[in-house]
Chains A and B, each alone.
Chain A
């Protein structure tokens, strides 16, 4: 058998084995991360004046949170939501407008669009209801959108 054929076949085999390991591990980890049902804190979210408005903007640590976005009031890339502190990244649309996570630390945290153009904050209280002094460092200003929402040059249409 020709040498390149052998090395080619071995390369494909190695890629397949490693790829299978990587993808199977990724899927099982994601499945384990789904938040528990039952006691859930619900937050309504929309965009006003270039900022995320969350109602209520305070939740309790350790209890699952479900953010329900009003996508009709979320222009362009504001539908692409990132909460860095809780490793949340999701693109909202009319069929799937919820973000679920469980806050495991208390303080004031940032929420932003993936282009860092639209921003907001929310507070996570300690289990006993007290407010933590921790406040995440504010995100730096975004590049080109400005605060008025809608007509930014950051590819909002592509994210719809």
Chain B
């Protein structure tokens, strides 16, 4: 199996051919929502951009990277235990870490951890379930750990190049998610797609994730240290 085949399939008729389109739809949904929120409310908040703009921007990019992989997993529905555990672990860990990291950077470790754990476990379990209870367990554990670690890393780096770290972490997570997509493609090359869906779910999930993240960052509770 060659990477070239995978790249070629990005323009194919399988679900891999929808990955880039899903990224685009997620980005547009989130940015349109943020633009509306900015116009109606956020622009009246003092120092909104320096305080939240950077992290919101990367949170949106992160969701746009996670959701296509989720769509790819859901399209095949069933995986072997080994693959399903890997899927649950990777998605749970990455989703939990990134969500926890961005909220941790603006709201403190407790709320970052809570948000990261919720997002990580929800996505980890949902996708891990494609292989049964082992994937469920793996997704739950990875989401839990990722959420805690993301928030902790953000708080520990608060005054130590946190923004540069955000870019590096986002890049590394992107590479891991591309690797996961490639692995799923390799595992399912001989299988037919089991679940067909339009992009409505991508729009809904992007909308919810972005809205909750923005609300938490700007109006949500935060640790005393974050004022």
Contact A137 B224 (CB under 8 A): yes
> Of A14, A29, A159, which contacts B49 at CB under 8 A?
A29
Enumerate chain B residues within 8 angstroms of A72, measured Cβ to Cβ. Answer: none
Interface size for chain B: under 10, 10 to 19, 20 to 34, or 35 or more residues? 20 to 34
Instruction: Point out the residue from A29, A85, A90, A116 that lies within 8 Å of B50, measured CB to CB.
Output: A29
B53 at the binding interface (Cβ < 8 Å)? yes
What separation, in Å, do the CA atoms of A2 and B28 have in the docked complex?
A: 20
Do the beta carbons of A112 and B225 come within 8 Å of each other? yes
A80 at the interface (CB under 8 A from B): yes
Residues in chain B near residue A114, CB distance under 8 A: 155-156, 158-159, 225
A84 on the interface (CB 8 Å rule)?
yes
Q: How far is the CB of B157 from chain A (nearest CB, A)?
A: 9
B20, A84: Cβ atoms closer than 8 Å: no
| Chain A hits for B61, CB < 8 A | 15
A87 near B224: Cβ-Cβ < 8 Å? no
Closest B residue by C-beta to A92: B159
Provided the pairs A5-B11, A14-B31, A29-B50 are in contact, do residues A80 and B158 lie with their beta carbons within 8 angstroms? yes
In the complex, what residues of B have CB within 8 A of residue A85's CB? 227
Contact, CB under 8 Å: A7 / B31? no
Residue A39 at the B interface, CB < 8 A?
Answer: no
Query: Cβ of A30 and Cβ of B20 under 8 Å apart?
Result: no
A81 touches B159 (CB 8 A): yes
The minimal Cβ–Cβ distance linking A111 to chain B, given in whole angstroms, is: 11
Partner of B160, one of A11, A23, A80: A80
Of all chain B residues, the one with the shortest Cβ separation from A17 is B31
B155 contacts A11, C-beta separation under 8 Å: no
Query: Is the CB–CB distance between B20 and A18 below 8 Å?
Result: no
Look across to chain B and name the residue whose beta carbon is closest to the beta carbon of A32: B47
Check A82 against B159 for contact (C-beta < 8 Å): yes
Q: How far is the CB of B13 from the nearest CB of chain A, in Å?
A: 11
Taking a contact as CB atoms closer than 8 A, the residue among B47, B155, B226 that contacts A33 in the complex is B47
Asked if A14 and B27 make an inter-chain contact with CB atoms under 8 angstroms apart, the answer reads yes
B23 close to chain A: CB less than 8 A: yes
Q: How far is the CA of A30 from the CA of B49 in the complex (A)?
A: 9
Contact B159 A80 (CB under 8 A): yes
* CB proximity to A under 8 Å, residues B12-40: 17, 19-21, 23-24, 27-28, 31
> With A84-B225, A155-B156 in contact, is A22–B27 under 8 Å at CB?
no
What's the least CB distance linking A41 to chain B, in Å? 21
Provide a sorted-by-A list of 17 A–B residue pairs whose CB atoms are within 8 angstroms. A3-B17, A4-B10, A8-B23, A22-B56, A23-B53, A25-B49, A26-B50, A26-B53, A29-B47, A80-B160, A84-B226, A85-B227, A91-B159, A114-B159, A115-B155, A139-B224, A159-B159
